[in-house]
Copies of this chain bind each other. A is one copy, B any other.
């Protein structure tokens, strides 16, 4: 199994503090050391950093810590391999383009049954169940909508498709097109919304705290989504089995 981290905000924000705790689970405070990756949307563009080294010792993770990229939608993943070798092609998040938008996907879980992808427009490059599920999702969306639908239409379509895929195993995932961040809970996913009045947060995985009141403006709103809560003094909300949330501007819809 793996761990997921997502961020969705109403103003471009860096993820340095949360990433500092999250990366420790990749080889230090937890066993997820079979590679990691993080994607940052910046406007319509997207940067995807991948490494098959553990996130705790990866030079790419050092860069992410030292270079505070500001983004409204971030998806990160640390891997504990279930299906597929440990190599770059099997490292999450995965990316594709649909309707002139970049789409980024990361999965926690294990799907033992999956629909086939005969002649599908999107094909996996690696050998994970996760990438196959992502390709199937996008292929179904492309068949249903010839151009980008409204975000509520997308949410409804994704909920139906996710429910179908979740019948084949465990399917917690994060997905974003840079406009919204979709989070599907099959077994385990938590979130919280930080907004004014901001307070101090303290990481669970290391003795590090930040006072968000000093780092933010009163209008900022940031949603964090993670497999396991990242801080030990904030009220993380456990998502329900089968729930799909669409986060826009830092708020769940």
Query: Could you list which residues of chain A lie within 8 angstroms of chain B, going by C-beta atoms?
Result: 42-50, 59-60, 62-63, 66-67, 87-91, 95-97, 99-102, 119, 121-126, 146
Query: What copy number does this chain have within its complex?
Result: 2
Enumerate chain B residues within 8 angstroms of A67, measured Cβ to Cβ. Answer: 59-60
Do residues B88 and A42 form an inter-chain contact, with CB atoms below 8 A? yes
Do most interface residues of chain A lie in helix, strand or loop, or is the interface mixed? mixed
> Which residues of the partner chain B approach A43 to less than 8 Å between Cβ atoms?
87-89
Would A100 and B123 be within 8 Å (CB), given that A42-B88, A87-B42 are in contact?
yes
CA distance A48 to B124 in the complex (A): 17
A45-B101 contact, Cβ under 8 Å, with A59-B63, A59-B66, A119-B146:
no
Task: Beyond A45-B50, A60-B63, list 19 extra A-B contacts (CB 8 Å).
Answer: A42-B87, A43-B87, A43-B88, A43-B89, A45-B88, A45-B89, A45-B90, A45-B91, A46-B88, A47-B88, A49-B49, A59-B67, A60-B67, A96-B96, A96-B97, A97-B123, A97-B125, A100-B123, A119-B146
